[in-house]
Structure 1
Amino acid sequence: MINIGKINTLQVAEVYPFGYALAPEIADDQVSEPTEVTTVTLPHDAIEGELAIGQRIEVFVGTDQRGDLVATTKTPEILAGETKVLKAVSGTHFGAFFEWGLDNDLLVPKDYQEAPINPGMYYVVHAFYDKKTQRLIGSTKLHYFLKEGSAYLNEGDSVECLVYAQSDLGFKVVINGEYLGLIFHSDAFKPLKIGQSTPGVIKNVRSDGKIDVVLQRDDKTGRDELQQAILDDLEAHGGISTLTDKSPPDAIYQHFNVSKNAYKKALGALFKQKKITIKPDAIRLNDKP
């Protein structure tokens, strides 16, 4: 079986003047059985040297403008079923084209565009094989392909998020490349932009299955980790730091990757534990002179 839009390990079935016919490898116990094998063409100029009949090779299998299968040894930036950030390079009345590492750009038809696409800008695109047109194409309408809920994600799970849109409520994200979620504006303590990847934590899985994400862990484990990080930082700098609860949010984020509110809470907890002293211009470890 040939997987369109994926990396395939295929076998040379025939050698032609213009290239090679590649086919899935047939097991020994299947040779005597009648079988219909689909082949894909690998042009001679796509490789260095020559291939022999029976030789195996890893190739990416895509489609040309007519929908015919074609193989290449190049690996594109996105495979079928993946969702990634791509750059739009041109547009027509029927769609937009994106760079993806191959000679022919990836088409995102008008019907699969969430909003008008401007050449030169980056967008989050999902690649898929369209059986209707028999072509490998892309879409910025992610809800066509990715679910808004998951039975496998739970509150407190660490995830990787890809920002793909902004709404009145917050930033829409792709979670672990498979699901859709939302980071509310109130939880976005650092600047976010379309196409940006960021670690996150599942805040809540709503009754309707939709997923809310936050940028930092706010449970006991997260609070303990931040407090220890502050203590370790003080130890590494002679027991003193000028990063106080009055410092700008950007400075706190750059140093500890947390919001100013989370940092202030951690300082307050350490102060109550009598581990630090808080001054207007500095904080200090209590066991340091």
Structure 2
Amino acid sequence: MVETGTMNTLVVCRTSPYGTFLEGGDHGEIMLLKESPAVARAPGDKIDVFVYVDSDDTLLASVTRPAIVAGECGALTVSALTDSGAFLDWGMKSDLFVPRSHQMGDMAVGQRCVVMALVDELNGRMIGTTRLYDYLEDENAGDFKSGQKVELLICQETDLGYKAVIDGTHLGVIYRGEIFQPIAIGDQLPGYIKEARSDLKIDLALQLHNPEARTEIEAKILQHLKKNNGESTLTDKSRPEDIYRTFNVSKKVYKHALGALYRNRLILLTKEKVSLV
């Protein structure tokens, strides 16, 4: 069965001077767009193709996989605007159309937006939407556990922080107090489920603050000192961005780790430097 808007493995049924045709089951023959450079195909060959309906309502296949297929979210750049909507570059010959009715807010040429690809129920064509809340879950009904590692796609900045797509299925929030690194719309990065809230909304964190994570940063500090002749100018007074650049943790986490190492008499602390004992 051929599924439009996504990748399919189809069989070549015939070739002609006009192109290659694939077996499409109930859809009949599906024309394969010409490749560059051209690749010889023979009847019986199996090909992985993206199947979609073009602007002329013709079902076509392409060996090129777009940046996102139906049901997937990704960061795309706006290439053009019209009265009816926006066009975004998704790696195909024709750009992905985002109708105005599917836009959360105004879009601008050159803007990077997080979009979900959809098959339009009216005509079967591919469209995009930035109205992610209409298609993704924003409640944790037992899907995630506190401390669980997830993949995040930063999709929107708010007064509280940033909203992110979680593993392509849910939406959550990273509060500003949990952000200790530069992030931007469209960034993909690892994160964690912070806690299970009573209202089922999902809070996220970019770093864990459990004992295992603290032990890991302590080990990194000791390793850093050993590589630098037993000394470092990164103290508890250093700038947060300098600490993050070296250890990928917040200043708060770093200070806690220094305190633990000091209490265990593994380091000496002064205003100017950290030293191995």
Shift in Å, 1:58: 1.9
2:85 paired with 1:95: yes
SS of alignment partner, residue 186 of structure 1: helix
CA contact (8 A) 2:235 2:273 kept: yes
Shift in Å, 1:46: 6.2
* Residues 143-192 of structure 1, C-alpha deviations (whole Å, 9 max, x = no match): 12211134231101112211111112211011122210000111112232
Shift in Å, 1:3: 1.9
SS of alignment partner, residue 261 of structure 1: helix
Shift in Å, 1:81: 1.5
The letter for the 1-side match of 2:91 is G
SS of alignment partner, residue 8 of structure 2: strand
2:43 paired with 1:72: no
Name the residue aligned to 1:129: 119
CA contact (8 A) 2:49 2:61 kept: yes
Name the residue aligned to 1:3: 3
CA contact (8 A) 2:87 2:95 kept: yes
2:224 paired with 1:196: no
Name the residue aligned to 2:232: 241
CA contact (8 A) 1:245 1:264 kept: yes
SS of alignment partner, residue 246 of structure 1: coil
CA contact (8 A) 2:35 2:63 kept: no
- Measure the CA separation in 1 of the matches of 2:16 and 2:27: 17
CA contact (8 A) 1:61 1:69 kept: yes
Report the CA distance shift for 1:63/1:155 in structure 2 as closer, same or farther (over 3 A).
Answer: same
SS of alignment partner, residue 266 of structure 1: helix
Shift in Å, 1:71: 0.8
Q: How does 1:1-289 map to 2 (within 5 A)?
A: 1-23=1-23, 36=26, 38-44=28-34, 48-150=38-140, 151-286=142-277
- Measure the CA separation in 2 of the matches of 1:266 and 1:165: 32
- Measure the CA separation in 2 of the matches of 1:176 and 1:268: 35
SS of alignment partner, residue 79 of structure 2: strand
CA contact (8 A) 1:241 1:284 kept: yes
- Measure the CA separation in 1 of the matches of 2:128 and 2:157: 20
The letter for the 1-side match of 2:105 is A
- Measure the CA separation in 1 of the matches of 2:35 and 2:9: 19
Identity of aligned residues (%): 39
CA contact (8 A) 1:46 1:72 kept: no
The letter for the 1-side match of 2:97 is L
The letter for the 2-side match of 1:251 is D
* Residues 14-55 of structure 1, C-alpha deviations (whole Å, 9 max, x = no match): 44542233125xxxxxxxxxx745432114566624433222
Shift in Å, 1:98: 0.6
- Measure the CA separation in 2 of the matches of 1:102 and 1:223: 45
- Measure the CA separation in 2 of the matches of 1:8 and 1:227: 49
SS of alignment partner, residue 198 of structure 1: strand
Runs of 4+ in 1 over 3 A off after TM superposition: 14-17, 35-39, 43-47
The letter for the 1-side match of 2:128 is G
Which stretch of structure 1 is more off in the superposition, 201-210 or 115-124?
Answer: 201-210
Shift in Å, 1:60: 1.4
Query: How many residue pairs end up in the alignment?
Result: 276
* Residues 88-108 of structure 1, C-alpha deviations (whole Å, 9 max, x = no match): 000111110011111111001
Report the CA distance shift for 1:239/1:44 in structure 2 as closer, same or farther (over 3 A).
Answer: closer
The letter for the 2-side match of 1:110 is R
Which stretch of structure 1 is more off in the superposition, 272-281 or 198-207?
Answer: 198-207
- Measure the CA separation in 1 of the matches of 2:195 and 2:203: 5
* Residues 172-223 of structure 1, C-alpha deviations (whole Å, 9 max, x = no match): 0111222100001111122322112222111112122211011111011111
- Measure the CA separation in 1 of the matches of 2:206 and 2:35: 48
- Measure the CA separation in 1 of the matches of 2:36 and 2:213: 51
TM-score (norm 2): 0.93
- Measure the CA separation in 1 of the matches of 2:87 and 2:143: 35
